[in-house]
Structure 1
């Protein structure tokens, strides 16, 4: 993914609320399933690791992106943004 495309996705995600929360149990099946459902429906999702979670934030986002086959767009603090294009994408990325 090009830098221009990541910047565009970051700008779209700036106003989004997190749709998936990772709590003290880390990446459990329910979290992975809800993330998969959300990214399938929306293409671009924001995920938050709660403060009571003992997991390594960056490693958790990278692992989740690998599980979903998604692109890790951004990590800021305890928030991360993932993107996975559909076959017929709603979000049109710049060239």
Structure 2
């Protein structure tokens, strides 16, 4: 997986600004069901926000890294408890993809 260029990362952050978290980890932490839901959301939307529960920064950072590795996605940005993840879809769906839906806002 190639690293994102500075321009790509900036464009994805601009698009991500308009998004709300689609997956939130709960009190049980990072379960296989949560990982599977993140995979599904990334496949549909390509660019998503995930809210990580917990007050411990190191635990949140570890969970974010684990999510990125498990879903083979790239971390675009992390602000507090919110992480912006990107993974190019194999078959892009223009009706669901946030990259297509919000492309006009990234100019």
- Name the TM-score class by shorter chain: 0.7 to 0.9
Runs of 5+ in structure 1 lacking a partner?
Answer: none
1:79-94 paired onto structure 2 within 5 Å:
79-89=82-92, 91=99
Corresponding residue for residue 40 of structure 1? 43
Q: Give, in whole Å, the separation in 2 of the partners of 1:53 and 1:27.
A: 14
Moved more, 47-56 or 11-20: 47-56
Q: Give, in whole Å, the separation in 1 of the partners of 2:23 and 2:90.
A: 23
TM-score under structure 1 length normalisation: 0.85
TM-score under structure 2 length normalisation: 0.76
- 2:28 is the alignment partner of 1:25: yes
Corresponding residue for residue 13 of structure 1? 16
Q: Give, in whole Å, the separation in 1 of the partners of 2:17 and 2:61.
A: 19
Structure 1 stretches (4+) deviating beyond 2 angstroms? 50-55, 87-93
